[in-house]
Amino acid sequence: MKLLFICSRNKWRSRTAEDIFKTSKNYDVRSAGTAESARIKVNEKLLNWADVIFVMERKHKQRLMEKFHSIMSTKEIKVLDIPDEYQYMDKKLVELLTGSVSTYLDKSKSNN
């Protein structure tokens, strides 16, 4: 399964998520940001590649829907509701990401 994590600048939240989950051999993982200043900017190629898109906040989903509407209408998007108040690999951020994403992935496995 291909997982794409998105935040604003792709420096702290989505990058942390990518680094946590990329060690699993069950997932192919990438991350990107919605802002012009993002380390890696989200684009059509990344969105088409992903099976599931995890966004940190509702505003990220809104931005994707506005800019890439035709692609996003066919994608599964999960809003994690993780605010931009954590540094890269912050212990609390790792806990939040691991808990919320793992819960979704476990549900997804049991539905297959």
10: left (phi over 0), alpha (psi -120 to 50) or beta: left
- CA 87 centroid distance within chain: 16
Per-residue pLDDT of the chain (112 residues; tens, 9 = 90+): 999 999 999 999 999 999 999 999 999 999 999 999 999 999 999 999 999 999 999 999 999 999 999 999 899 999 999 999 999 999 999 999 999 998 888 877 666 5
Residue-level pLDDT at 112: 56
Q: How far is CA 97 from CA 11, 14, 58, 72, in A?
A: 15, 9, 16, 22
Per the CB < 8 A criterion, the answer to whether 27 and 1 are in contact is yes
Tell whether pTM > 0.75: yes
End-to-end CA distance of the chain: 12
Per DSSP bridges, beta strands 76-79 and 52-55 are: parallel
User: What are the backbone angles phi and psi of residue 4, rounded to the nearest 5°?
Assistant: -120, 125
> Which residue type does 83 have?
P
Q: How far is CA 71 from CA 13, 40, 45, 79, 82, in A?
A: 23, 19, 10, 17, 24
Residue-level pLDDT at 49: 98
